[in-house]
A and B are shown apart, each in its own frame.
Chain A
Amino acid sequence: MNEKFETHEHDVLIIGAGGAGLRAAIAALGQGASVGVVCKSLLGKAHTVMAEGGIAAAMANVDQADDWRTHFRDTMRGGKFLNNWRMAQIHAQESPERVRELEQWGALFDRTTDGEILQRAFGGHTFKRLCHVGDRTGLEMIRTLQDRGVHLGIDVYMECAVTRLLRDGERVTGAFAYWRESGRFVVFKAKSIVIATGGIGKAWRITSNSWEYTGDGMALAYDAGAELMDMEFVQFHPTGMVWPPGVQGILVTEAVRGEGGILRNKDGERFMERYDPEKMELSTRDVVARAIYTEAREGRGTEHGGAYLDISHKPAEYVKRKLPSMYHQFRELADVDITQGPMEVGPTCHYMMGGIRVDAESAHSTVAGMFAAGEAAAGLHGSNRLGGNSLSDLLVFGRRAGLAAANYANEAPAGSVDAPQVEESTREMLSPFERPAGESPYDIHRDLQETMQNYVGIFRNEEDLEKGLSELEKLRDRAARVKVEGSRLFNPGWHLAQDLKSMLTVSEAVALSALARKESRGAHSRIDYPNYDETWGKQNNIIVRDGDRMKLHQTPTAEMPNELRKLLEEKQ
């Protein structure tokens, strides 16, 4: 190949340096592989750092009756049985060991009175199950993994963004990327690739997600021929900030409710009694989000269109100790003292249950040499994720992806990197500079966010989804003519122009899948099909690329073994 590009070579290339990517890197290193990690931001700033509530693991430190079976059952029930049962089983069985491992690498969780890791209640979990550090669990986790990984010797390529996976026949063998700082291009050669790029929330206007969450990994996988699954299931977290405008969407941790927070409407009514009298505020996220949205839509919302969330009945010192970052966040950004009065909250786009279709044991995608873990992968959470199951997902399947990718690399012959694919990528990257005129990427992004917010939101119907799809088509045309100003040096406008492509791909996949699923299940609520449908309960939507077109088909869910089926039928 033409060697005019900076080139790096590794056995395993990991894209993304959040919990899943770093855990995968540590696992692959342990197998003797040389590992490179590429990430869009500085190391330690990935989305995992923002996770608040905790890591779900049936350690039974607080509620001794807990075990993996109950965790498995809760996860399947939360996902309305569309989950990949084997992933849910592995996840429930392996989470406790993954948490203990973090502790042995230096993480310091809050403690019980006998010195064990403390666990708290969370929505949809039968027992107190979330291992936590106040409300900054994600920070503890990413720091622990990052220091471990760096000490073991991963090579980290910070502020470097991948725009294309390079194929050698049926296999992926490399990636094309650019340095955000210099704008220079770089080629990575690898025997296997792990995609751990997280979610897609930046395609919506109201979101808890950072600029990085543009669905890059899913779009890269799709472009390289991999199947995407369950793309209709986008989680709207019930409690984001709603006021002032600049903070709209910023997450208010579910730990507020886990610690006893109460939801009320403007009339002071504890409205969850009408939506889920049994679990109340600790119902699953899909139910609580729809409840708050419905209250506001029917005129019982707060001044800024949300609900009140109140924890001020607890002692002020307790609130400050258990929810320190919420206390500071509201005091500094909204002039609200949460120890004295309620917060105003409303739904915010938060998490993607769908993603790259993977094998439960190995995290291998449907393309040879491509693995995926964490939010970028689909299957574990079915149609709705329980709080706390994300951080455990990152650890359990990050590790499995890293192990499998290293083993694959160990057996695979070296691949070659195809020069024409690289040349084409550079042309695509540079074209926004070369057009004499065109639209600003910021304008297109703003309109994309409005489109997804308005037509592919919490409640959906056929008319809206059709409208959303036709708007997306127009947006794709506009994005193809995007114009970038300035130079290639650290140019956020240019970076956004690249991210737009990913967002448009995943947005179309979400709208298309949502239109096809003619039922309501978990996070997917169709006003025109408000009930469960038995046929849809036994199949997943699959998205795959067919030339330049996106194709959708269904695949039956896997048959569950009898002993697991019996577990689900047990009452509790």
Chain B
Amino acid sequence: MTTEATFKIFRGNRSNGELVEYSVPVAPGMVVLDALHYIQAHHAPDLAVRWNCKAGKCGSCSAEVNGRPRLTCKTRLDALPLEDPITVQPMRTFPVIKDLVTDVSWNYTVNKKIPPFTPRANVEWKMDQRDIDRVQEFRKCIECFLCQNVCHVLRDHEKLAQFGGPRFFVRIAGLEMHPLDGVSRTHLLKDDLGIGLCNITKCCTEVCPEDIHITDNAIIPLKERVVDDYYDPVRWFLRKFRKKTEPK
């Protein structure tokens, strides 16, 4: 006998919508994205869903499954209570375009503000694996934007204009800690991306499908750099005295 699972899926757009029920036969090892594909093929051909690799590598299929931010391609049905309907809703922090698809373009705008990798002059292109291990952790990010979605500075306080969000702190950490990079981004972190607004509740770290220790390994060290550059009294005095502009 085939087990059936009931899904309640958000259907709608930015201004209105509702949860619509669909029934899906359960197969071994099935994930939520499989169920969404089944619904498209059998019940709702116009159900809007983003996905690409279906293997946890591209970060396209983010949604909120039973209220928890997840990649739908890695959320197995056998890990969910099937006696109740499974709700699937779009990421709440970003405006809905249609159904499960949200407008994440804000992230691409933030990314453009970040000065790219800029090697120091005359570097020798040699690096020790031990020096790049920690940077490679940051570069695992698949840009699923689940960390942005749960960050309360963005989700609840909607400070999209003043704050960069965990994803871009991870990206900047990857640049700042690159052994051969030669520019500082602390000014950007402090003023444009508002890193001080983060009060390290670690919500981002908890949802990261790549297990990046966002708070401990990226955000806290970056906060320390900002403090060192801007709030250390000796450095503050030297900067005043020398009239040196802050690092760009």
Contact = CB atoms under 8 A, between A and B. Distances in A.
A141 to B, nearest CB: 11
Given A487-B46, A492-B40, A44 B143 contact: yes
B187 interface: no
Contact of B52 (A45, A115, A148, A332): A45
A50 B49 contact: no
Interface string B49-73: 1111111111110000000000000
B48 to A, nearest CB: 4
B28 interface: yes
Which bucket holds chain B's interface residue count?
35 or more
Nearest to A134: B136
A301 to B, nearest CB: 18
A133 B58 contact: no
A490 B28 contact: no
A492 B117 contact: no
Interface in A484-511: 484-487, 489-494
A485 B41 CA distance: 12
Contacts of A568: none
Contact of B46 (A103, A111, A333, A486): A486
A210 B51 CA distance: 8
A150 B111 contact: yes
Nearest to A243: B29
A156 to B, nearest CB: 8
Contacts of A148: 116
A407 interface: no
Contact of A492 (B46, B76, B126): B46
Contacts of B58: 44-45, 49-50, 210
Interface string B108-126: 1001100011010000011
B153 interface: no
B31 A105 contact: no
B22 to A, nearest CB: 15
Nearest to B47: A492
Nearest to B99: A490
Contacts of A181: 97-98, 101
Interface in A86-139: 100, 103-106, 108, 110-111, 114-116, 133-134, 136, 139
A517 to B, nearest CB: 32
Interface stretch (A384-392, A422-430, A440-448, A466-474): A440-448
B51 A136 contact: no
A487 B97 CA distance: 13
Interface in A209-237: 210-212
A211 B27 contact: no
A47 B53 CA distance: 8
A292 B14 CA distance: 50
Given A104-B119, A150-B112, A245-B27, A486 B128 contact: no
Given A45-B58, A485-B46, A493-B46, A108 B132 contact: yes
Contact of A114 (B42, B59, B126): B126
A363 interface: no
A108 B138 CA distance: 11
A492 B41 CA distance: 10
Interface stretch (A4-12, A246-254, A412-420, A557-565): A246-254
Interface residues of A, number: 63
Nearest to B123: A104
A141 B50 CA distance: 22
A494 B46 CA distance: 8
B247 interface: no
- Centre residue among B40, B42, B57, B119 by max chain A CB count within 10 A: B57
A442 B41 contact: yes
A140 interface: yes
B45 A484 contact: yes
B129 interface: yes
B100 to A, nearest CB: 10
Contact of B135 (A43, A47, A108, A486): A108
Nearest to B128: A115
Given A49-B58, A150-B112, A332-B74, A442 B142 contact: no
Contacts of A151: 112, 116
B30 A139 contact: no
Nearest to B30: A246
Nearest to A48: B58
B86 interface: no
A43 B145 CA distance: 13
A131 to B, nearest CB: 13
Contacts of B42: 442
Given A49-B53, A210-B53, A492-B40, A111 B132 contact: yes
A443 B46 CA distance: 14
B127 interface: yes
A543 to B, nearest CB: 28
B175 interface: yes
Contact of A211 (B28, B51, B98, B139): B51
Contacts of B76: 332-333
Contacts of B142: 49, 139
A237 B47 CA distance: 31
A246 B34 contact: yes
B147 to A, nearest CB: 16
18 contacts: A44-B143, A50-B55, A100-B125, A110-B129, A114-B126, A134-B136, A136-B140, A143-B139, A150-B112, A243-B29, A246-B29, A246-B30, A247-B54, A250-B55, A332-B76, A442-B41, A443-B41, A491-B45
Given A41-B52, A143-B139, A245-B29, 15 more contacts: A43-B108, A45-B52, A49-B52, A50-B53, A108-B132, A139-B142, A140-B139, A210-B53, A212-B52, A243-B28, A244-B29, A245-B30, A329-B56, A486-B45, A494-B46
